[in-house]
Amino acid sequence: MTEYETVIGLECHAQLLTETKLFCGCRARFGAPPNTNICPVCIGLPGALPVLNGRAVELAARMAFAVGCRVNETSIFARKNYFYPDLPKGYQISQYDRPLAEDGEVCIRLDDANKRIRIERIHMEEDAGKLLHDGFMGSSTKSGVDLNRSGVPLIEIVSHPDLSSPEEATQYAQAVKEILEYTEVSDADMEKGNFRCDGNVSVRPVGTSELGTKVELKNINSFRFLARALAYEVERQIAACESGERIVQETRLYDPDADRTVSMRSKEDAHDYRYFPEPDLPPLVLEPTWLEEQKRKLPELPEARRARLQSDYNIPAYDAKVLTSSRARADYFEAAAKRSKNGKATSNWMMSELLRKLKASGVAIEELPVTPEAFGELIELVEKGTLSGKMGKDVFEKMFSSGDGPAAIVEREGLGQISDSAAIEELVRTVIANNPEQVAELKAGKDKVIGWMVGQIMKASRGQANPQLARETLVRLLEES
């Protein structure tokens, strides 16, 4: 039986975090009532002229530098011509033969090694509008068009076909999303359509170097669907090869409900976009000094931050990976660790209590009522022995529900571990007096009873005695008696 290998390249589209659209001053934000952020430029009225958004260029260049691309000093906008009801001008302004940036790479982690996925290019383009198919009267014969999204700035990140499995492709897309979020180039929110992937998939017999006919997969808006769509398509192509069928170069859509890909009408000419240079925009020329400055301003990237957290706070690789899975999470950790002055303990508390609580409550870390400083203070109280670990967890629950700081809660609830030796001694004396049998057993050498006795002391103190001090006091008093 022939063995096949999979060849995948991804095109990821990300919406840039600008206030306004790419070529006009309309707001670019998600969620406005339909057709309220529109103007002559973005709905394609005759005579309207596009003017490029400087912030969009800055963000696009930042992403390019973050993945090690070369940013071209001159790039050119081009018209991509096609007809669709969500495209008011009849063309999309994009970049074609001279894109903003070229030749970068993104590193993905496989089980036993790292793999570099080469980035072919990053270019800027405008988004199209949005079609609505239901939710209004007459939707069986008509579609609705909302042009709020029309002209919103995107970058398209095109990888080389370096991905050899659906899993690698998903890992890569996640890595790209993570970099976009970390650098604050895009919120990369898939649910809002701010991060979408198209895949180019082909298979070939192992050992051959010629690429098989590639099929383009569109309409993928979650990582789960990305993996499933690619896996389905790989299987379909292998089955076709096995039965001697010819694979047609076409675009297929993933249907998540049926978990399969379906062919879009494969008109051979439909892909002829007749690109030509956009006459309404001059070439984009970027100063070398400006480019250098953008490169210098690049924030710390996830991989680097992971390594730094591991060494600066002395935490395991696994913890560092979990804590840096989003920038907000990593920021929270560092702020809390700064306050608690104990990175390892802060990491433990975050990995267990905090993440569990976030997961259970569905609250995002950005909306957490417990500030990182308050969280760090709590950890400090536990580390100092003012609170036992158990009490610390209770206080954390109360901080979460009330938003109050740990000191206020300890004060209000009369909590605080009893570390006062006189108070502890009194408790221990009472427990000794009340349990003569066990004391006798202890004296006879039954050391195991000591744990039970400490338990009684804790119980008598309603959990507030410092257990270490209680045990020491018990041993001392028994020896003295």
Partner 1 sequence: MDKLDDREVRQLAELAHLALSDDERASFRGQLEAFLGYAERIQALNTVGVEPTSHALLEAGLEGGSRLRDDRPRESLDRKAVLDQAPDASDGLFKVPKVLP
Q: Is 276 in the site for partner 1 (CB under 8 A)?
A: no
Q: Is 24 in the site for partner 1 (CB under 8 A)?
A: yes
Q: Is 19 in the site for partner 1 (CB under 8 A)?
A: yes
Q: Is 210 in the site for partner 1 (CB under 8 A)?
A: no
Q: Is 43 in the site for partner 1 (CB under 8 A)?
A: yes
Q: Is 28 in the site for Zn ion (CB under 5 A)?
A: no
Q: Are 364 and 358 in contact (CB under 8 A)?
A: yes
Residue 82 structure tokens: 């096609």
Strand (E) positions, 383-448?
none
Cβ proximity to partner 1, 272 vs 312, nearer residue: 272
Q: Which residues contact 113 (CB under 8 A, 6 or more apart)?
A: none
> Using CA atoms, how far apart are residues 80 and 277, in angstroms rounded to an integer?
9
Cβ proximity to partner 1, 133 vs 297, nearer residue: 133
Residue whose tokens read 């069986």: 140
Start-to-end C-alpha separation, the chain: 84
Q: Is 257 in the site for partner 1 (CB under 8 A)?
A: no
Q: Is 37 in the site for partner 1 (CB under 8 A)?
A: yes
> Using CA atoms, how far apart are residues 33 and 48, in angstroms rounded to an integer?
23
Pattern of binders to partner 1 over 85-114, x per CB under 8 A?
Answer: x-----------------------------
Cβ proximity to Zn ion, 39 vs 52, nearer residue: 39
> Using CA atoms, how far apart are residues 265 and 248, in angstroms rounded to an integer?
12
Q: Which of 287, 437, 447, 479 binds partner 1 (CB under 8 A)?
A: 287
Size of the site for partner 1 (CB under 8 A): 54
Q: Is 452 in the site for partner 1 (CB under 8 A)?
A: no
Residue 40 interacting partner from Zn ion, partner 1, none (CB closer than 5 to 8 Å by kind): partner 1
Cβ proximity to Zn ion, 39 vs 423, nearer residue: 39
> Using CA atoms, how far apart are residues 176 and 106, in angstroms rounded to an integer?
7
Q: Which of 10, 26, 185, 415 binds Zn ion (CB under 5 A)?
A: 26
Strand (E) positions, 181-340?
195-205, 215-220, 251-255, 260-263, 276-277, 284-285
- Burial class from Cβ neighbours inside 10 Å (0-12, 13-18, 19+) for residue 401 reads exposed
Q: Are 368 and 401 in contact (CB under 8 A)?
A: no
Q: Is 138 in the site for partner 1 (CB under 8 A)?
A: yes
Neighbours of 143 (CB within 10 A): 13
> Using CA atoms, how far apart are residues 201 and 358, in angstroms rounded to an integer?
37
Q: Which amino acid is at 51?
A: V
Q: What is the largest CA-CA distance in the chain?
A: 101
Size of the site for Zn ion (CB under 5 A): 5
Q: Which of 30, 223, 275, 290 binds partner 1 (CB under 8 A)?
A: 290
Q: Is 18 in the site for partner 1 (CB under 8 A)?
A: yes
- Burial class from Cβ neighbours inside 10 Å (0-12, 13-18, 19+) for residue 477 reads middle
Q: Which of 7, 12, 16, 24 binds Zn ion (CB under 5 A)?
A: 24
Within 38-97, the residues that bind Zn ion by CB under 5 A are: 39, 41-42
Q: Is 147 in the site for partner 1 (CB under 8 A)?
A: yes
Cβ proximity to Zn ion, 39 vs 291, nearer residue: 39
Please, where are the H alpha helices in 157-222?
166-182
Strands of the 276-277 sheet, one edge to the other = 91-95, 77-81, 276-277
> Is the backbone of residue 153 left (phi > 0), alpha (psi -120 to 50) or beta?
beta
To Zn ion, the closest distance from the beta carbon of 125 in angstroms equals 16
Of the candidate spans 23-31, 205-213, 263-271, 463-471, the one that interacts with Zn ion by CB under 5 A turns out to be 23-31
Of the candidate spans 80-88, 117-125, 451-459, 465-473, the one that interacts with partner 1 by CB under 8 A turns out to be 80-88
To partner 1, the closest distance from the beta carbon of 242 in angstroms equals 32
Residue 141 interacting partner from partner 1, Zn ion, none (CB closer than 5 to 8 Å by kind): partner 1
Q: Which residues contact 35 (CB under 8 A, 6 or more apart)?
A: 146, 147, 148
Q: Is 407 in the site for partner 1 (CB under 8 A)?
A: no
Report the interface residues with partner 1, using CB under 8 A.
18-20, 24-27, 33-40, 43, 51-57, 81, 83-85, 131-133, 136-147, 269, 272, 274, 277, 279, 282-287, 290
Report the interface residues with Zn ion, using CB under 5 A.
24, 26, 39, 41-42
